[in-house]
Amino acid sequence: MTTLPRVVVLATGGTIAGSASSAASSARYQAATVPVTALLDAVPALKDVARIEAEQVAQVDSKDMSFALWHRLAARVHHWSTQPDVTGIVITHGTDTLEETGMLLHLAAAASVPVVLTAAMRPSTSLSADGPMNLLDAVRVAAHPAAAGKGVLVVVNQEIHAARDAVKAHTCAVQAFVSPVSGPLGFVQDALVRFTRAPLRLPAQPWPLPAGSWPVVEIVASYAEPGRALVDALVASGVQGLVVAAAGNGSIHETLVDALAGAARAGVAVVRSSRTGAGNVLAPANPNPQAGVFVTAGDLNPYKARVALLLALAGDPALVADAAGLQRRFADI
């Protein structure tokens, strides 16, 4: 008799653990109310795929994600990935900030086994809830030999994405996650787990999480006629990093360039990302002399770029005054 793989499910809350008073409701519900044991009980087929062990790491709506919970989650991933006989780890998470936690774990998780984030757009009590199938598919991927060495993954709506790439791109559709630049890594169709390509941008070494307090990194946006008061106030409050959700290929309104150049001169790391939702931000061929010290985030959206900047500055606070060094960090992601 063959032994089934051992998969650990770490539950953090979200809509996948949400409930509503009416099964007809997919939008009015309370996230993070149903315990992981009940989520697992709702999917009897899991027992044919893996030996499951579950841990309720948190029970939160992911809009309220915190650095403390990121620390706890990364620690539980590390713990379980070093236990003998664990084949893979599944994390249930809210969809709203899954792309940020996914980015964090992509950079920081020192896991020797597959780590798969999954979620749902409809609460567990909904007609046609998507959580049970996403959970089953995530366990199938975490237990599959082909998932080894692919980094942290996201499995939602039968697609497998690299956590580095996956972003939430819809407010309510069950097909809410896309990898806008690279596309999915593969798919799950019943018992068939098929990778169609491999992720190439895996970190050579895990990026350490901050040992003490986290750097202060905020996001500002460029749009028509922006004021500079927000940037000036952030600099005055001691911000260490700013990510700009810039227009197009990273273009920033001249008023904001002026304010951000002042921030850079004051020792704030400034990173340009794009608000478009897809594509790479190149360093300009003829940089505005004022903006020459801004780092580009490549194809990371502002939220993912912020996570990378948090960890980069935590690992090396001197990067606030070393744009070239910080640019090299971003080029590695």
Instruction: Give me the active site residues, please.
Output: 15, 95
Residue 275 exposed, middle or buried by CB count within 10 Å (0-12, 13-18, 19+):
middle
CB of 98 to ligand SIN, least distance (A): 7
Q: Which two tokens stand for residue 301?
A: 């959206």
How is the beta sheet containing 269-274 ordered, strand by strand?
Answer: 217-221, 241-246, 269-274, 295-296
Measure CA of the first residue to CA of the last residue in the chain; give whole Å.
43
CB of 318 to ligand SIN, least distance (A): 35
Candidate list 7, 9, 11, 14; residue touching ligand SIN; CB under 6 A: 14
SS3 258: helix
Q: Does 96 bind ligand SIN (CB under 6 A)?
A: yes
CB of 131 to ligand SIN, least distance (A): 9
Question: Cα-atom radius of gyration of the chain, to the nearest Å?
Answer: 20
Q: Does 117 bind ligand SIN (CB under 6 A)?
A: no
The smaller minimum CB distance to ligand SIN, of residues 29 and 207, is found at: 29
The smaller minimum CB distance to ligand SIN, of residues 98 and 185, is found at: 98
Stretch touching ligand SIN by CB under 6 A, among 78-86, 89-97, 204-212, 244-252: 89-97
Q: Does 95 bind ligand SIN (CB under 6 A)?
A: yes
Rounded CA-CA distance 297/249 in Å is 11
Q: Does 94 bind ligand SIN (CB under 6 A)?
A: yes
CB of 96 to ligand SIN, least distance (A): 3
Q: Does 61 bind ligand SIN (CB under 6 A)?
A: yes
- Cα 58 to Cα 11, 71, 191, distances in angstroms: 6, 12, 29
Give the total of residues touching ligand SIN (CB under 6 A). 12
Q: Does 15 bind ligand SIN (CB under 6 A)?
A: yes
Q: Which among 235, 231, 238, 237 is positioned nearest to 253, based on CA atoms?
A: 231
Supply φ then ψ for residue 90, to 5 degrees.
-115, 135
Q: Does 301 bind ligand SIN (CB under 6 A)?
A: no
Sequence-ordered list of residues with C-beta below 8 angstroms from that of 213, at least 6 positions apart, any chain: none
- Would you list which residues are annotated within the binding site for substrate? 62, 95-96
Enumerate residues 238-297 that contact ligand SIN by CB under 6 A.
none
Stretch touching ligand SIN by CB under 6 A, among 43-51, 61-69, 219-227, 310-318: 61-69
308 alpha carbon, distance to own chain's centre: 10
Interface residues with ligand SIN (CB under 6 A)?
Answer: 13-15, 31, 61-63, 94-96, 119, 121
